[in-house]
Chain A
Amino acid sequence: DAGVIQSPRHEVTEMGQEVTLRCKPISGHDYLFWYRQTMMRGLELLIYFNNNVPIDDSGMPEDRFSAKMPNASFSTLKIQPSEPRDSAVYFCASSLGGLIGYTFGSGTRLTVV
């Protein structure tokens, strides 16, 4: 298995634009997590899915953020409109049963100018 795959690796966009981050979890994993990492706040859980259903989105900072998981092999995190304070590294992780085989992707470094 190629692991958790995220795209793009880097994204630079202008303030106000829509940004879509993508994630392909490990095949067979039933949990998918989206995290945001910044120097100030560390690694924060934004939202997670179980069997494609959002379970806890309490970490999503604002209505500008939305996440979907249309099937077991794909998820998106969308920011619309983007703001400079959204600049961070966004990680996707997947696991089996919530805690088994917790595997992170390489992240998407987002810069909003």
Chain B
Amino acid sequence: KQEVTQIPAALSVPEGENLVLNCSFTDSAIYNLQWFRQDPGKGLTSLLLIQSSQREQTSGRLNASLDKSSGRSTLYIAASQPGDSATYLCAVSLRTSGTYKYIFGTGTRLKVLA
């Protein structure tokens, strides 16, 4: 059974710091991995999607890497801003019954202090 773990559960940093969020999964037979952002009281917004054949994806100040063999992904946020404060979730896709679905981690709650 695929399990997705995110460490740390919560993180508080001063504005301007570079930070790394970690995601690990137990079954390396994934189709892709996606990082989402969730603001309080809101739904999830997709940030970055990495296909299983890729090593990393970048979007602005965000960079996500994937190491399938070790079952790990990291989300790197450069020059953090108070607006980055949110919960970040990673999700891995697996194939089941001929279709695909995502299994989510429990998230990292990030607070960037001004």
- Please report A residues at the B interface, Cβ cutoff 8 Å: 4, 31, 33, 35, 42-43, 45, 48, 50, 55-56, 91, 93, 98-99, 102-107, 109
Contacts and interface: CB of A to CB of B under 8 A. Distances in A.
Contacts of B89: 43
B39 to A, nearest CB: 10
Contacts of B45: 104
A107 B103 contact: no
Interface residues of B, number: 22
Contacts, number: 52
A99 B43 contact: no
Interface of B: 31-32, 34, 41-46, 89, 93, 96-97, 99-107
24 contacts: A4-B43, A31-B99, A42-B104, A42-B107, A43-B44, A43-B104, A43-B106, A45-B102, A48-B101, A50-B99, A55-B97, A55-B99, A56-B97, A56-B101, A91-B44, A98-B93, A98-B101, A99-B100, A99-B102, A103-B46, A104-B45, A106-B42, A107-B41, A107-B43
Q: Which of B89, B100, B101, B107 has the largest number of chain A CB atoms within 10 A? A: B101
B28 to A, nearest CB: 17
